[in-house]
Amino acid sequence: MAQSVKLSGITKTYAAHTVLNDVSLDIQPGEFLTLVGASGCGKSTLLRIIAGLEEADRGTISIGERDVSHLDPQKRDVAMVFQSYALYPHMTVGENIATPLRMSRLSTCARWPLVGMATPGRREALASIGKDVRAVATQLQIEALLGRKPAQLSGGQRQRVALARAMVRRPAAFLMDEPLSNLDAKLRVHMRTELTELHRQLGATFIYVTHDQVEAMTMSDRIALMADGNILQLGTPDELYHRPASLRVAQFIGSPTINCLEAIVTNGVVQLIGVPVANLHEAEHRSVTVAVRPEALRLHAEPGDVTLQATAHRLEHHGADCFLLAMQHDQERMLHARLSPAEASGVAIDQPIRLHFRPAGAHFFAADGLRIEPPFDESAAQAITQRQVGMSA
Amino acid sequence: MSAAADTLPTEIRQAEPLLSRTRRRQLKGFAFVSPATLLLLLIYIVPLITLVALSLTDYRLGAMATQFIGLDNFTNAFSDPVFRRAFTNTLLYVAIVIPFGVGIALLVATLIHSRIRTRSFYEVVYFLPVTSTLVAMATVWQFILHPRLGPVNAALKSLGFGEFAFLSDPVLIIPTLAVIGVWQIVGFNTILFLAGLSAIPRDLYDAAHVDGATRPLDRFLTVTWPMLGPTVMFVAVTTSITAFKVFETVAVLTRGRYGSEVLLYSLYLEGFEYFQMGYAAALTLIFLAFVLFLSIGQALHLDRRVHY
C-alpha cells in the first residue's frame, strides 16, 4: 500500500555535467508530490533514479522502510507512467495491462512461448491475472478496449491503458513522467481532475514530473521546484505561490509571470523610483527586487499604496479576467496586471495609466535572489511615513 | 458567377471543350503512368514473354531452324538427375543460409547495439564481407579450406580430427558453401537489424524494465523480438532470395563438380556453355516460379504475425 519515499543526497553526473546535486526529499505515504521545473533541471532523471532505471552516483533511496538504492525496478515495487505511454504496440490492451503481472506471477519457464504451455500452475496464474486485469479495466472504464491494439486508441484512451498497467500491480508508489503533455489542451485539463480523483481513490504515493506549473499547482499536495539539479523550494502550492523562497521560484510559479522591479536601499529603506516602500531590519542590502503578482496591481489607489506610472500597451481578454500589459515608465519594464473586465473596459490603449499596489502584498528579494521579509506592521508603516515626511521637509 | 454566365452569348456558353473534363483527367493519368509502364514492359514483361516462348522451343544459339516442342524442356528437366540434384542442393543451401544468416545477424546486431564506443568498429568489421567481391573472397576461402594448406584443417588436425575435403566431399560441399554464404550475408542483415533496433523507442525498454522484464531474455521476448517483426520479415525474404541465387562460390570453388550443382549454375551451364537456350529458358522459369512462390508465401505468412 501507500509508502513513503525517502531520497537522501542523490547526486548524478553525466561526464562533467552535474544533473542532480545532493538532492534530498521526504515524500509522505499517500502524498501527491510534483517535481516541477524547466527542461533540463534534472526532474526526469530524479524520477528515473527513483524508478531504478538509472543509478545515482551517490545517495540512497528508501521506499517504506527498505533501502532500494541498488534494487531492480520491479523489486522496488513502483510503477511508472511514461510521457509517450510506452504501450507495447504488438499487444492488445489486455495483454499490455497483464504484462507486469505475467512477469511477477508466472515463472521464468512459464513465460516461454510454447515451452511455457505445459508449466504446472500456469492456468491458475493466468486466471488470476485475467481477473485483476478486468478489475482495473472496469475501474478505469476501459473494459470495452481490452481486445484492441494501442494503435487503434485515442490519446486519452492510451493514457488510461498506461495508468491501468501501472495500477494493476498495486505498487507502493506511482511515478509519472509528464503523463499529460501529449494530450490536447482540453483533455489535459480533464485528465488533471481524473488523476487527482484517482489519487484520492487509491490513496497511493504519487510522484509526478511536469514542466507545467499549472499542473503542479492544481494537482499536488506538495511541489518540489527544481532548477540546475537542486530543489529550490519544497512546499504546498499555496506556499510556493504566496511565499516563494527565491526570485526564481516567484518567476516560475504563476501566469502571467510576476512583475519585477529594481529598488535601491538607503539606510534600510527600500526605495522604488524614489518612493520608500518598505523598511528592512538588516541594513546591509544595497539593492532589492520588488516582485508584484499581476493580481496585486490595481487601477484604484488605496492609502499606503505604491504607485507606478505606465503606458497601457495591450489588453488580453480571458473571459473572467483581463490582462493589461503596460510599459512602466522609469525602468521600461512590461507590467502585467490582472483586471476584471469591468475595470479593463475603462483602460485606454497607448494612454498613461497608474497602477497601484500595497507594499505588504509585494515580495522582496535580495541581490542573491533570496527572499527578504520586511516588517509590515503598523509601526513600520508609520516609520516610513515619518521618514517620508522628514525627507520632504 | 451564374449571373455572369447568363449574360454570355449563347455560342460561347455552349462551346464544349475539345475533350470532356473526365477524359482529360484520364489522359493526364495515363501520361503520368506511361514512363513506369513502358520501363516495366521493356525490362520485365517483354523478356518474360520471350522467356516463356523460348522455353517451349528447342532453340540453340546460332541454330538455323527451331522447333516448337511444347513442355518437353520441363519434363526433361525434372527427369534429369543433374537438374534434380541442383534442385535439392539449392534447397539444402537455402535451408542452411536462412536460419543462420538471419539468426546470427540478429544475435550480432543485439550485441553490437548495446555497445557505445565500439559499435561502429564492429559494424565495419561485420559489413566488410558485404563490400568485398565474392569471387575474390572465394579464392581466399579456397585457401582457408584447403585440405593440406588451409588453416581450418590445420586447426582440426591439431585437435585430433582427420582431414576434411570441404570443397570436394559431396556430403560437406553444400554445407561448406552455405557457411560461406552465411558469412557473406550476415553483415548486411546485421546492418538491417541494427536499423530496426534503433527504431525501437527506448521508453518501451524502460517500461518493460519497470514491469519486471529484468532479464535480457524477457526484454528480448517482450520488446525486441515483436518490435523487430517487420525487419525480420524483410531480412528473411531478402536472405532467401539471395540464397536462391547462389552462383559465384559454386562457379569459382567447385565449378559444379563433386555433385555441387545448384540451380543458377546449371542454368548458366546449359545457356552459356552448351548454348541450349530453350532448355535454359525452361530452367529459368522453374527458378523464377520457385523464388516467387517462396517469397510470396513467406511474406503472407509472416505478414499475419507482424504488427505494423
Among A40-49, A117-126, A361-370, B69-78, which is the least confidently predicted range?
Answer: A117-126
Give the residue, B19 or A338, on which the prediction is more confident.
Answer: A338
Residue B209 and residue A73: Cβ atoms within 8 Å? yes
Q: Are A80 and B206 within 8 A, CB to CB? A: yes
- The residue among A17, A75, A2 whose CA lies nearest residue A229 is A17
Asked if residue B281 and residue B190 are part of one domain, the reply reads yes
A250-254, B176-180, B299-303: the lowest-pLDDT one: B299-303
Q: Name the minimum distance, in Å, from the CA of A92 to any CA of chain B.
A: 11
Q: Are B213 and A103 inside 8 Å of each other by CB?
A: yes
Task: Identify from A50, A90, A99 which residue to disrupt to test chain B contact, counting B C-beta atoms within 10 A and taking the largest count.
Answer: A90
Residue at B138 is within a domain? yes
pLDDT tens digits, B36-66: 999 999 999 999 898 888 888 887 777 777 7
Nearest C-alpha in B relative to A86: B204
Tell me how close the Cα of A90 comes to any Cα of chain B, in angstroms: 6
Q: Report how far residue B57's alpha carbon sits from residue A151's, in angstroms, rounded to the nearest whole number.
A: 55
CATH topology of domain A259-390: OB fold (Dihydrolipoamide Acetyltransferase, E2P) (2.40.50)
pLDDT of residue A108: 73
Do residue B145 and residue B263 come from a single domain? yes
Angle of helix B277-305 relative to helix B229-244, nearest 10 degrees, comes to 170
Domain count, chain B: 2
The CA-to-CA distance between both ends of chain A, in Å, stands at: 70
Q: Which of B206, B213, B218 sits opposite A86 (nearest CB)?
A: B206
State the DSSP H helix or E strand holding residue A122, giving kind and residue range, or none if neither: helix A122-139
- Subunit contact A100:B206, Cβ cutoff 8 A: no
Domain shared by B156 and B23, yes or no: no
Confidence of residue B17 (pLDDT cuts 50, 70, 90): low
Residue B114 lies in a domain: yes
Residues 12-31 of A with CB under 8 A from B: none
Q: What's the mean pLDDT in A323-340?
A: 89
Do the domain assignments include residue B146? yes
**Domain identity same for B9 and B126:** no
Secondary structure (DSSP) of A1-46: ----EEEEEEEEEETTEEEEEEEEEEE-TT-EEEEE-STTSSHHHH
Instruction: Find the CATH number of the domain harbouring B180.
Output: 1.10.3720.10
| Weakest-pLDDT range from A175-189, A368-382, B42-56, B271-285 | A368-382
Summarize the confidence of residues A65-89 as an average pLDDT.
Answer: 88
Residue A73 in contact with partner chain B when CB distance is under 8 A:
yes
Confidence of residue B168 (pLDDT cuts 50, 70, 90): confident
Residue of B nearest to A78 (CA): B210
The residue of chain A nearest to residue B304, with distances taken between CA atoms, is: A90
Answer yes or no: is B10 within a domain: yes
Q: What SS3 state is found at A257?
A: coil
Tell me: do B115 and B18 sit in the same domain.
Answer: no
How many beta-carbon pairs below 8 A join chains A and B? 72
Residue A89 touches chain B, beta carbons under 8 Å? yes
Residue that wins the pLDDT comparison between A178 and A384: A178
Mean pLDDT for all residues in chain A = 86
| B148 and B293 co-located in one domain | yes
Mutate to test the interface with B, among A55, A71, A84 (most CBs of B within 10 A): A84
Which residue of B211, B232, B233, B306 to mutate against A (max A Cβ within 10 Å)? B211
pLDDT at residue number A392? 40
Contact list, B209 vs chain A (CB under 8 Å): 52-53, 72-74
Which residue is closest to B201 within chain A, CA to CA? A86
Q: Give how far A225 is from chain B: nearest CA, Å.
A: 25
Same domain, B237 and B113: yes
Decide if B266 is inside a domain: yes
- Cα nearest neighbour of B205 on chain A: A86
Whether residues A51 and B201 touch (CB distance < 8 A) is answered with no
Is B67 inside a domain boundary?
A: no
Q: Which domain holds residue B211?
A: 74-303
φ, ψ of residue A316 to 5 degrees: the values are -110, 120
- Looking at the fold, whether B98 and B206 belong to one and the same domain comes out as yes
pLDDT tens by residue, A91-128: 889 889 988 888 888 877 777 766 767 777 778 888 88
Residue among A82, A104, A108 whose CB faces B207 most closely: A82
Q: How far apart are CA A115 and CA B222, in angstroms?
A: 16
Q: Where are the domains of chain A?
A: 5-243, 259-390
Q: Which amino acid, A176?
A: M
Grid cell in block for residue B106: 540478429
Nearest to A336 by CA among A313, A359, A319, A320: A313
Residue B68 inside a domain? The answer is no
pLDDT in tens, A148-163: 898 888 888 898 899 8
Confidence of residue B308 (pLDDT cuts 50, 70, 90): very low
Closest CA–CA distance from residue A162 to any residue of chain B (Å): 10
What pLDDT, on the 0 to 100 scale, is given for residue A221?
Answer: 93
In a domain, B200, yes or no: yes
Examine the domain organization and report whether B108 and B228 are in the same domain. yes
Same domain, yes or no, for B160 and B38?
A: no
**Residues B5 and B83 placed together within one structural domain of the fold:** no
If one counts every other C-beta atom within 10 angstroms of the C-beta of residue B20, the result is: 10
Q: At the topology level of CATH, where does A5-243 sit?
A: Rossmann fold (3.40.50)
> What pLDDT sits at residue B9?
55
- Asked if the Cβ–Cβ distance from B207 to A86 is below 8 Å, we say yes
Average pLDDT over every residue of A329-341: 88
CB B250, CB B262: distance < 8 Å: yes
Residue A84 to residue B211, Cβ atoms within 8 A: no
> Collapsing DSSP states into helix, strand and coil, what is residue B114?
coil
